[in-house]
């Protein structure tokens, strides 16, 4: 089932999301719906707050970008109860976008390497290191469960330049070919 994507301005995008356990209601169905929603909207990652759930769950499939970023080959994961435990390496700048911020693409500087502890959809625990673009996608999705958005990293000047577009998004004035929910 396709889920509406909550647009910028919805308060759920600003909450620090909560841990979940195996008993979380209809979790397998939610994960399946999130995959379907992500693929249909041509996303490479989707976090639960973007579908209105303030829980520590996000999923990523980077395979579509593997031609440009070889580190994304076979990078498909469900992350539950994730905690980034190390960030290091160089700082790298690349453009990012977000399904909750349609039409906005801006350069974001992030660490090139992270170590993250998480559980998969079967609640097996892992500690894994990601580098390059994989690390960037994980940090972007992780920010969603921490109530952050990539526009938070922009300079005051860049923020001023996109302000009218942000306002339009909060008013639901955006043309996308996926289902969205504007803030109420």
Residues that bind Ni ion (CB under 5 A): 98
Question: Do you know the residue count of the chain?
Answer: 184
The distance in angstroms from the start CA to the end CA of the chain is: 23
Query: Closest separation between CB of residue 98 and Ni ion, Å?
Result: 3
Query: Closest separation between CB of residue 97 and Ni ion, Å?
Result: 8
Task: Concatenate the DSSP letters of all residues of 19-35 into one string.
Answer: P--TTSTTHHHHHHHHH
Query: Closest separation between CB of residue 170 and Ni ion, Å?
Result: 16
CA dihedral 113, 119, 124, 127 (to 10 degrees): 20
Catalytic member of 121, 141, 146, 175:
141
- Please confirm, yes or no, whether 36 is among the known catalytic residues: no
Query: Which residues, in sequence order, are bridge partners of residue 6?
Result: 181
Nearer residue to Ni ion within complex by CB, 15 or 127: 15
Nearer residue to Ni ion within complex by CB, 23 or 159: 159
Query: Which residues, in sequence order, are bridge partners of residue 117?
Result: 83, 127
Query: Closest separation between CB of residue 23 and Ni ion, Å?
Result: 27
Radius of gyration of the chain (CA): 16
Nearer residue to Ni ion within complex by CB, 2 or 127: 2
Detail the DSSP E strand segments found in 14-75.
45-47, 57-61
Nearer residue to Ni ion within complex by CB, 41 or 127: 41
Residues marked as catalytic: 141
């Amino acid at each position: 089932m396709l889920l509406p994507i909550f647009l910028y301005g919805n308060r759920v995008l600003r909450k620090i999301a909560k841990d979940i356990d195996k008993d979380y209601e209809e979790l397998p169905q939610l994960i399946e719906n999130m995959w379907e929603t992500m693929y249909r909207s041509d996303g490479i990652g989707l976090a639960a707050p973007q579908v209105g759930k303030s829980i520590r769950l996000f999923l990523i499939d980077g395979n579509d970008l593997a031609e440009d970023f070889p580190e994304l080959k076979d990078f498909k994961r469900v992350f539950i109860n994730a905690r980034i435990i190390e960030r290091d390496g160089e700082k790298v700048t690349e453009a990012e976008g977000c399904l909750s911020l349609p039409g906005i693409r801006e350069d974001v500087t992030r660490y090139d390497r992270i170590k993250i502890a998480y559980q998969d959809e079967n609640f097996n625990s892992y500690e894994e290191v990601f580098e390059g673009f994989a690390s960037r996608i994980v940090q972007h999705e992780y920010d969603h469960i921490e109530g952050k958005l990539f526009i938070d990293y922009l300079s005051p000047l860049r923020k001023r330049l996109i302000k009218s577009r942000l306002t339009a998004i909060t008013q639901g004035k955006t043309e996308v070919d996926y289902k969205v929910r504007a803030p109420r």
